[in-house]
């Protein structure tokens, strides 16, 4: 269990290609992709992960064709409606990051309601990145920090990485240990730019609509086999392991 990541971020890529390969409209890929969201969320909760963050709609996705944007918003609305009891029954806390004011009321209202109603849940935190961009998130944090400096509430000499990180909407979440991107593309695409600092990156050659819990288990198995050094040497990491073991003994 100790080899499990605390927080997994997922770039759910490949919905459009999955549909096109089958001669179907892109939205069909998103619809089946929403089923993958359900399966992965359930599996993550059952495994006892502390947090998962799903890149569901980027700040740049607003520029897609209007019918695709509308279809994605309808899927999100339906998801929030259909998953409400699953989220509440399983002690999941719903969180959202991004420019949420841009979302249509049909999504924003159920999102706000479920965030509020699930705020006391102490199981896993499910974060939906919606209208989200990592650079935009960093710029918003820098603006908030500058406002606090200008108001005399923050001494600029005390700003370090921890203090800056506290201005991000992910501040309450554990560090991202593992990033999974499906569809074979090897890019970060403006997702969690700050938060991924020490994440293990995994690029999986499976389109998101096909990505189900068995693929997640395989990623977790690979994660458990990786050596994470956080800037230390391999010998230092190995030394701290044997110290822990000696201490335990
Ligand atoms: C990327 O694939 C995926 C998206 C832009 C949307 C992700 C949305 C869902 C999985 C469904 C709704 C979400 C929830 C939380 C219920 P792409 O369209 O860029 O695929 P492509 O690269 O093959 O075109």
Q: What pLDDT is recorded for position 248?
A: 37
Helix axes 66-82, 26-47, angle to 10 degrees: 30
Beta strands in the chain, from DSSP E residues, in sequence order = 7-11, 51-58, 93-97, 125-132, 178-181, 200-203
Please choose, from the candidates 129, 106, 110, 107, the residue with its C-alpha nearest in 3D space to the C-alpha of residue 118. Answer: 110
Nearest CA to ligand 1 atom 18: 16
For residue 78, which atom of ligand 1 is closest to its CA? 16
Chain CA centroid to CA 66, Å? 25
Q: pLDDT (tens digit, 9 = 90+) per residue, 185-203?
A: 999 999 999 999 999 999 9
Average pLDDT over every residue of 31-55: 98
Annotated catalytic residue, options 39, 61, 117, 148: 61
- Is the C-beta atom of 79 inside 6 A of ligand 1? yes
Q: How confident is the model at residue 2 (pLDDT cuts 50, 70, 90)?
A: low
Complete domains list, the chain, with CATH? 7-248 (3.40.1180.10)
Q: Is 61 a catalytic residue?
A: yes
Ligand 1 atom nearest residue 29's Cα = 18
**Tokens describing residue 84:** 């409400």
The 10s digit of each residue's pLDDT in 81-130 is: 999 999 999 999 999 999 999 999 999 999 999 999 999 999 999 999 99
Q: What's the gap in Å between 193 CA and the centre of ligand 1? A: 19
């Amino acid at each position: 269990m100790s080899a499990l990541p605390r927080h997994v971020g997922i770039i759910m890529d490949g919905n459009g290609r999955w549909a096109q390969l089958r001669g179907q409209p892109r939205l069909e890929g998103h619809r089946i992709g929403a089923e993958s969201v359900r399966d992965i969320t359930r599996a993550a909760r059952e495994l006892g992960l502390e947090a998962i963050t799903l890149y569901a709609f980027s700040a740049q996705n607003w520029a897609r064709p209007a019918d695709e944007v509308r279809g994605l918003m309808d899927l999100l609305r339906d998801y929030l409606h259909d998953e409400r009891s699953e989220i509440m029954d399983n002690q999941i806390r719903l969180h959202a990051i991004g420019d949420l004011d841009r979302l249509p009321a049909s999504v924003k209202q159920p999102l706000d309601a479920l965030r509020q109603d699930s705020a006391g849940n102490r199981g896993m935190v499910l974060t939906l990145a919606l209208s989200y961009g990592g650079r935009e998130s960093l710029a918003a944090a820098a603006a908030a920090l500058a406002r606090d400096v200008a108001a005399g509430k923050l001494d600029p000499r005390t700003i370090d990485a921890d203090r800056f990180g506290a201005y991000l909407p992910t501040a309450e979440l554990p560090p991202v240990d593992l990033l999974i991107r499906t569809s074979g593309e090897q890019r970060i695409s403006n997702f969690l730019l700050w938060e991924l600092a020490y994440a293990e990156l995994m690029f999986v050659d499976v389109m998101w609509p096909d990505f189900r819990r068995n693929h997640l288990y395989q990623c977790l198995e690979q994660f458990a086999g990786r050596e994470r050094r956080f800037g230390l040497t391999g010998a230092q990491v190995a030394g701290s392991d044997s110290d822990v073991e000696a201490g335990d003994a």
